[in-house]
Amino acid sequence: MAEAAAKLTAVEGIKARSRFLRGTLLESLADSATGALAEDDTQLSKFHGFYQQDDRDVRDERRRQMLEPDHQFMIRARVPGGICTPKQWLAMDAIAAEHANGTIRLTTRQAFQLHGVVKRRLKPTIKAINDSLLDTIAACGDVNRNVMSTVLPEKSALHQRVFNDAAAVSQHLTPHTRAYAEIWLDGEKLTGEAAAQEKEPIYGATYLPRKFKMSFAIPPRNDVDVFAHDLSFIAIVEDGELNGYNVAVGGGMGVTHGDPKTYPRLATVVGFCLPEQVIEVSEAIVKIQRDAGDRTDRKHARLKYTLDDRGEAWLHGQLVQHLGYDLGQPRPYHFTHTGDQLGWQQTDDGQWHLGLFIENGRVKDVGSCRQLSGLRAIAQLLKGEFRLTPNQNVVVAKVAQDDRAAIDEIVRSHGLDSWNRLSPIRQNALACVGFPTCGLAMAESERYLPELVGRIEALLEKHSLLDQPITIRMTGCPNGCARPYLSEIGLVGKGPGLYNLHLGAAFNGTRLNSLFRESVQEADVLEVLDQLFADYAAKRNEHEYFGDFLLRQGLLSHSTHSTQAQPQQQTRPANGQQVSS
């Protein structure tokens, strides 16, 4: 036993000693001699919803001045299914102005992020978020994180049903520890026998080996990139009614440069469950990963590696042990696209919904484009709700016909109507934060992608392709927050000004891209794309997407790690799976 314990990662020891995530966070917060937390607490803070960072733009200068880094914190608020009320939006706006850097960032997991929060502001910020009936617990850390859900299916009752399931799973898998309330909300502290009896019924004392991500999708929309997550539920709808969900397991984007044992993987559809089984199936798969996941190597700790190491048959056997039954055979489904639909749309209940483009998810006021002020004005009159999308945009939802004109005027006067003028590639562009705050970033991302897209737009116009929908995503490191391995053009940071160029994912999110060039600069990227766009313009089939063209031309080489959803469908025709590619 001692030998086995010695092999565990340092983070496992921190969790085990933390007394259910308390650690020495209270002491770290009280230490005014530094803007940082104690080292162990920087791991535990993630479970409470925030990361310690510093401004890397000034890191070298502060080092020369013999100052500690400009420590600051990113706080993430969970928003299950991306739905928040106008009151909650206004609260986040006010919190960003008072405690953070004055901007709101919409994430690729339908959550809010606040940047630039200093240590003395952590507690009032987290308390204010909770006062708005949102929270930050489990927004990060080795637990199930924000549960995603399709934003805008055509049938409103169906969306509500699937959202309710997503919200119920989110609530069920929220950690039970009292540490969060004690530290941030001045809750009563557990002592004596009550403290000794505290437990986590689902996670246990050391939680999961690594992060765990979930999503719900309603075909034909794949706006959540359903195959990118540890566990996903694909709604099976017949005659407008929800029959149940196909269950997809083992997706994940994280990679380590230079380590071939790490790889992106698409989730495998392993079965079907009824709507009333969603919570118990979710809990069972979380517990299976809790017990079987690799706690000796955090680079090998995600569910995708557990599934590849042990096999699908093993997973089904584990499910029977936990549930007393196995999943049913997967049902037919079909995805057509990822991304968001912008502009006004009407659902079957007669309500209107306005999709607004927020470049890289950063809500701010810059010049005539006053997105922060405009969305504040909309929130002050909106009777419906906001829906944060998985693609860093926002939907102003449940708008009555009579209220459209007032919202249109706010949108026009604040420069929020850019969707009318944007090229498809810009609409389908995603970027992580990258520099200057992310400690993992190796290259620029959010600050650079808009400029690069402009140069790519010029190439597309040169080849009469500017109206062609193409997905492009950029991350400053290989961890994959913006899901770059699922874009037709993916750029993954290797160093300042250097990126790995990945090409050829499916437009509907059912096939990974491939590494095409390594450690290239902008000029190299543009040269490659110029030639490929020329070939695409001359040789493409009607309605053929760019990624599919590259695959058909034999320009891509794929790894064996579930690059196309689902690779087993041709060998298991009885499943009846249908995935367009």
Q: Which of 119, 121, 210, 213 is catalytic?
A: 213
**Where is average pLDDT lowest: 137-141, 460-464, 482-486, 564-568?**
564-568
Q: What is the average pLDDT across 396-404? A: 97
Residues 416, 371: contact at Cβ < 8 Å?
yes
Looking at every residue in the chain, the average pLDDT score rounds to 94
Asked whether the beta carbons of 43 and 14 are under 8 A apart, the reply is: yes
Triad 259, 430, 117: Cα angle to 5°: 90
- Take residue 298 and report the two structure tokens written for it: 């955090």
Distance CA 379, CA 49 (A): 25
What is the rounded CA–CA span in Å between residue 229 and residue 252?
Answer: 5
Residue 192 · residue 182 · CB < 8 Å: no
Q: Are 359 and 301 contained in the same domain?
A: no
Q: Domain of 470: which CATH number?
A: 3.30.413.10
In a domain, 321, yes or no: yes
Q: From the DSSP assignment, how many helices (H) and strands (E) are in the chain?
A: 19, 22
Asked if residue 50 is part of any domain, the answer here is no
What span, in angstroms and rounded, lies between the C-alpha atoms of 521 and 179? 46
432 is catalytic: yes
Catalytic residue among 211, 221, 265, 494: 211
Q: How many CB atoms lie within 10 A of CB 436?
A: 18
Q: Express each pLDDT in 165-187 by its tens digit.
A: 999 999 999 999 999 999 999 99
Let me know whether 387 and 470 are in one domain: no
> What is the model's pLDDT at position 530?
98
Which residues are CB-contacts of 101 (< 8 A; sequence separation ≥ 6)?
114, 115, 116
Among 5-9, 97-101, 240-244, 502-506, name the one with the lowest average pLDDT. 5-9
The tally of domains found in the chain comes to: 3
What's the token pair of residue 205? 């004392």
**Whether 527 and 407 share a structural domain:** no
- CB neighbours of residue 63 within 10 Å: 11
What 3-state DSSP class applies to 231?
strand
pLDDT at 3 (0 to 100): 44
Looking at residue 561, what is its pLDDT? 58
Q: Which residues contact 6 (CB under 8 A, 6 or more apart)?
A: none
Residue 67, token pair as written in the block: 């100052």
**Is pLDDT at 499 greater than 60 in this prediction?**
yes
76 flagged as catalytic: yes
Out of 145, 210, 221, 295, pick the active-site residue.
145
Q: What is the DSSP letter of 144?
A: B
Where residue 276 falls among pLDDT bands split at 50, 70, 90? very high
Burial profile 207-216: b = 16 or more Cβ within 10 angstroms, e = fewer: bbbbbbbbbb
- The last residue of one of the domains, among 368, 399, 423, is 423
Q: Give me the pLDDT at residue 568, please.
A: 34
Q: Token pair 């507690």 is at which residue?
A: 123
- The residue out of 370, 392, 423 marking a domain boundary is 423
Residue 399 shares a structural domain with residue 285: no
Catalytic residue among 298, 302, 477, 483: 477
d(CA 65, CA 382): 49
181: alpha, beta or left? (left if phi > 0; alpha if psi -120 to 50): alpha
Domain-embedded: residue 565: no
Q: Are residues 331 and 448 in the same domain?
A: no
404 within a domain of the structure (yes/no): yes
- The CA distance from 345 to 331, in Å, is 29
CB of 566 closer than 8 Å to CB of 269: yes
pLDDT over 60 (residue 268): yes
pLDDT in the model for residue 562: 59
Q: Give catalytic status of residue 145 as yes or no.
A: yes
- CA angle, 170 as apex, 441 and 168 as ends, to 5°? 155
- Active-site residue, 211 included: yes
Task: Look up the domain containing 457 and give its range.
Answer: 425-508+514-555
Torsion from C-alpha of 110, 111, 115, 117, nearest 10 degrees: 180
**Do 150 and 221 share a structural domain?**
yes
Whole-number pLDDT of residue 1: 43
- What pLDDT does 369 receive? 93
Distance from C-alpha of 283 to C-alpha of 201, rounded to nearest angstrom:
10
pLDDT at 392 over 80: yes
pLDDT band at 563 (very low <50, low <70, confident <90, very high): low
Pick from 84, 75, 71: nearest CA to 113? 75
Clarify whether residues 252 and 357 are in a common domain: no
Q: Which helix (H) or strand (E) holds 218?
A: none
Tell me if residue 140 is catalytic: no
pLDDT at 244: 98
Say if residue 571's pLDDT is above 60: no
Decide if 52 contacts 34 (C-beta within 8 A): no
Give catalytic status of residue 273 as yes or no: no
Contacts of 408 (CB under 8 A, 6+ apart): none
Residue at 19 is within a domain: no
In the predicted model, is pLDDT for residue 576 greater than 60?
A: no
Q: In the chain, pLDDT over 70 holds for what percent of residues?
A: 95
Same domain, 542 and 432: yes
Question: For 422-446, what is each residue's pLDDT tens digit?
Answer: 999 999 999 999 999 999 999 999 9
Q: Which residue has the higher pLDDT, 420 or 319?
A: 319
Task: Report yes or no on 92 lying in a domain.
Answer: no
For residue 206, give the DSSP letter: T
Min mean pLDDT across 27-36, 41-50, 316-325, 572-581 is at 572-581
- Categorize the per-residue pLDDT at 564 as very low, low, confident or very high, splitting at 50, 70 and 90: low
Domain limit, last residue, from 376, 394, 423: 423
Active-site position among 84, 140, 273, 438:
438
| Residues 501 and 485 both lie in one domain | yes
The H or E element that residue 213 is part of is none
Task: Please tell me whether residues 170 and 313 are part of one structural domain.
Answer: yes
Beginning with the edge strand found earlier in the chain, give each strand of the sheet holding 489-495 in spatial order: 429-431, 472-475, 489-495, 498-503, 514-520
Residues 457 and 548 in one domain: yes
Q: What is the pLDDT of residues 352-372, one digit of tens each?
A: 999 999 999 999 999 999 999
Residues in the chain: 581
User: How far does Cα 141 stand from its chain's mean position?
Assistant: 14
Q: What is the pLDDT of residue 565?
A: 65
Which pLDDT does position 290 carry in this prediction? 98
Write down the pTM of the prediction: 0.94
The string of pLDDT tens digits covering residues 214-236 is 999 999 999 999 999 999 999 99
Whether residue 305 sits in one domain with residue 438:
no
Q: Tokens 């000004």 correspond to what residue?
A: 497
Query: For residue 69, what is the DSSP state?
Result: -
Q: From the candidates 109, 398, 432, 511, which is the catalytic residue?
A: 432
pLDDT on residue 154: 82
Could you give the 3-state DSSP secondary structure of residue 479? coil
In tens, the pLDDT along 286-321 reads 999 999 999 999 999 999 999 999 999 999 999 999
Please identify which of the residues 481, 483, 494, 511 carries the catalytic annotation: 481
13 lies in a domain? Answer: no
User: Are the C-beta atoms of 247 and 241 separated by less than 8 Å?
Assistant: no
Q: What pLDDT score was predicted for residue 115?
A: 98
Out of 46, 76, 105, 221, the active site residue is 76
- Give the gyration radius of the chain's Cα atoms: 23
The answer to whether residue 578 scores a pLDDT higher than 80 is: no
Residue 49 lies in a domain: no
Stated as kind and residue range, the H or E segment containing 164 is helix 156-172
Query: Is the previous residue joined to 69 through a cis bond, with omega within 30 degrees of 0?
Result: no
